[in-house]
Amino acid sequence: MKFIFLNLKRFDIPKEFGGVNSIAPMKNWAAHIVNNTQNKLQKYNADDVEIVMFFPEAHLIGAVDALCENSPVKVGCQGVFRDDTAVGGNFGAFTTNRTANAAKAIGCGGTIIGHCEERRDKLGIMQEAGIADTDAINRLLNKEIKCAINAGLKVLYCIGETSEEQPKWQDTLRRQLEIGLDGVDMTKVAIAYEPVWAIGPGKTPPQADYIQMIAKFVKEVTNGLPVVYGGGLKVDNAEMLASIPEIDGGLIALTRFSGEIGFYPDEYLEIIKTYLGK
């Protein structure tokens, strides 16, 4: 089984507000993406490839409404809160926070948790309070994962090491996995490896041997969970990533990195075609 994940961050914001959306008006943006991809993705067998798109909250309903019958696309949300409603128990409210039950009720099938940007945000809050406990971040993410799974969502759990953590990458990744997945139903989880130290303009991405080394390590620690490359699956690295036996797919974000940068459905489809070789 291969896994193709799509993180649609920032790409909904129009250019006049500092974003990079130039493909559709805001109210039609999610439907435009689903409508311009799902039919062409029908050729991939759902038993062989799982395709999940993580939408910003404002676009979840539009994305779900655009799904055709037996669509190969699954809609997910960008994270969930670490607490939730319960029948006969807690009814909320969780002002400003999206609960997993809310995402499930909208029509989501999955969520992305622990992305390096989420980790950075949580770390920044802790540093403001004078706390430098990265294990606390993993404990918070563990609560989010459990809430997601309890609501019936699958989870893409992101892990990765910063440049400061790279010399001790084994310890860093092991703690992210062991604490973050403590007591979790592992059948509902896939892992995305983000080489945080290599993400960004001017930085050199890891080569195949490094990615393979990490993927082997993750599979050993998690007893064989699916591992996808979270540093950006794109046309330029799709064939290389597909050649690594331990890598089970990728996480796509930007499809165009120069000129009119952003996300474009046709380019997204080309990335998948290149990675899968068909």
194 is an active site residue: yes
Task: Round to whole Å and give the CA distance between 225 and 100.
Answer: 22
pLDDT one-digit tens code per residue, 92-102:
889 999 999 99
Task: Round to whole Å and give the CA distance between 83 and 215.
Answer: 31
pLDDT band at 10 (very low <50, low <70, confident <90, very high): confident
115 is an active site residue: yes
Q: What is the pLDDT of residue 131?
A: 86
Residue 104 amino acid letter:
K
Q: What is the pLDDT of residue 244?
A: 98
CATH of the domain at 72: 3.20.20.70
pLDDT band at 53 (very low <50, low <70, confident <90, very high): very high
CB atoms within 10 A of CB 231: 25
Task: Round to whole Å and give the CA distance between 214 and 198.
Answer: 14
Q: Residue 242's closest CA among 202, 212, 205?
A: 212
Residue 185 amino acid letter:
D
Q: What is the pLDDT of residue 275?
A: 98
pLDDT at 201 over 80: no
- Lowest model confidence (mean pLDDT) among 52-61, 65-74, 86-95, 247-256: 86-95
Active-site option among 50, 118, 161, 194: 194
Q: Which domain holds residue 181?
A: 2-276
Q: What is the pLDDT of residue 101?
A: 97
Q: Number of structural domains, the chain? A: 1
By CB atoms closer than 10 A (0-12, 13-18, 19+), residue 237 is: buried
pLDDT one-digit tens code per residue, 130-185:
988 889 999 999 999 999 999 999 999 999 999 999 999 999 999 999 999 999 99
Active-site option among 32, 115, 118, 161: 115
Q: What is the pLDDT of residue 202?
A: 78
pLDDT at 45 over 80: yes
Q: What is the pLDDT of residue 199?
A: 87
